[in-house]
Structure 1
């Protein structure tokens, strides 16, 4: 729910920082870690949105038009 959305945003922000630092320093491992964190954060935000839509009784909670 709201916790998943919040945690997803935090994870995504950490990913952007790691990706940026990795790009600047030339550290490919950190850059890849950042990209993975961005994806994980985005997925967790989507999960929170879908759970919230399901609680609201939406017929298709995974459909973004239900937001």
Structure 2
């Protein structure tokens, strides 16, 4: 499988970040663990939180992986 294109949007008022993979909204992530789970569903089964932080596949909007507050 080709590597997915991932966009993580700025946190909303509850601290959730919308996640889009290859143009499809997968849902809301409230933590790096949630985002790692989305990446696993997108075909990267071995991914964990550290992979999410280090990945060039992810475009972070409104702050990087450390930003989960509105």
| TM-score bracket for the superposition, by shorter chain length | under 0.3
Larger Rg: 1
Higher helix fraction: Structure 1 or Structure 2? 1
The structure with the largest strand share of the pair is 2
TM norm structure 1: 0.27
Taking structure 2 as the reference length, what is the TM-score of the superposition? 0.27
